[in-house]
Structure 1
Amino acid sequence: MKKVLILCLLFIGLTSVAQEAKWYDNFDEAAKVSKQTNKPILANFTGSDWCGWCIRLDKEVFSKKEFQKWANENVVLLTVDFPRRKKLDPETAALNKSLEQAFGIRGFPTIWLFGITDLANPKKDIIPYGKTGYVRGGATKWIESISPFLPKNQS
């Protein structure tokens, strides 16, 4: 009986780990996965270590199992970070800056949902579907705010 209980607990632990959504911090990797899976990219433009609303969005939405399940089924996750306390490598910082300019980011958090038409030049072949930011009400309300922007063959 003890062994069965331990196996059940182990299985539950492994199942919850397997459901955790993967966030990419490299645009090119996210673009490749997006093309392979035919899922749009959900890009989180964030100041992860200083922006209060970004931290709140992560705590209230992105860390919740409901969001992670939805994300695994519908999108490829990309973090485009602009930290103040930690240093990004120069290549990542430059790429994040170019993405910030390409999407016209004026504040954090800004979340863009978009598709890629061509991997040869993904930064120029972006199809924007919609954007949002922090939405009060937790994971359910936040998912409701972005889901209408999913391409019609999604959801």
Structure 2
Amino acid sequence: MKKTVILCFLFFGMLTAQSQELNWHTDVKEAISIGNKEHKPLLLFFTGSDWCGWCIRLQKEVLLTPEFAKWAAENVVLVELDYPRRTPQSDEIKKQNGELQQAFGIQGFPTIHFANGSDKEGKVNFEGLGNTGYVAGGPLAWLAVANEILKKK
């Protein structure tokens, strides 16, 4: 009996963990398509995942929390635009991310832009809604800033 109860707890625990797992897109055109179908803006996370201390801190304090996961599922399509130093990336992703870094004028990490996107005849266009970065105070403080930005959409 004890084994059955333990197995049930483990099983439901895994389901809960999986339900809070976020889908971070790396292909911007795919993310735009999903955003347009779901009528949600993109959250573009410009990060140096394997070297940027503030990026890692933002991940731990906000982006990996249940509060953020719930909010993100309801409000945005997540896009990670990574600029790693040690982690390999395909040439296509490097090219895409470099172009987006230039298009959005990214000069520091982490930077998060909220935008609506369109992809017409292979040309990607964005309507910027606002941007933020690391916000001290955990997920609730960060989400308050994000919600203010999204009110403008």
Q: If the length of structure 2 is used for normalisation, what is the TM-score?
A: 0.90
Q: Distance in 1 between matches of 2:27 and 2:14?
A: 28
Q: Report SS of the residue matched to 1:108.
A: coil
CA shift at 1:89, angstroms?
1.0
Deviations 1:72-103 (A, max 9, x none): 11100000011111221111101001101111
Deviation at 1:146, TM superposition (A): 1.0
Identity %: 45
Residue 76 to residue 9, structure 1, CA distance change in 2 (3 Å): same
Deviation at 1:11, TM superposition (A): 2.1
| Unaligned runs of at least 5 residues, structure 1 | none
Distance apart, 1:71 and its partner CA: 0.5
In the other structure, the counterpart of 1:142 is 142
Q: Residue 75 of structure 1 corresponds to which residue in structure 2?
A: 76
Aligned to 1:87: 88
1:39 aligned onto 2:30: no
Name the SS for the 2:124 alignment partner.
coil
* Pairing 1:56–2:54 present: no
| 3-state SS of paired residue (1:139) | helix
What number of residue pairs does the alignment pair up? 152
**Counterpart residue identity of residue 36, structure 1:** K
What secondary structure is seen at the aligned counterpart in 2 of 1:16? helix
Residues 152 and 108 of structure 1: CA distance in aligned 2, closer, same or farther (over 3 Å)? closer
- 1:96-131 deviation digits (Å, cap 9, x = unpaired): 01101111111100000111245545622x111110
Q: Which residue of the partner structure matches residue 133 of structure 1?
A: 133
Distance (Å, rounded) in 1 between the aligned partners of 2:36 and 2:121: 11
Q: For residues 137 and 66 of structure 1, what CA distance do their matches in structure 2 show?
A: 13
Residue 66 of structure 1: how far off its partner (Å): 0.7
Q: What is the distance in 2 between the residues matched to 1:132 and 1:106?
A: 13
Give, in whole Å, the separation in 2 of the partners of 1:151 and 1:120.
Answer: 30
Q: For the aligned residues, what is the CA RMSD?
A: 1.8
Distance 1:119 1:38, change over 3 A: farther
- Structure 2 gap segments, 5+ residues each: none
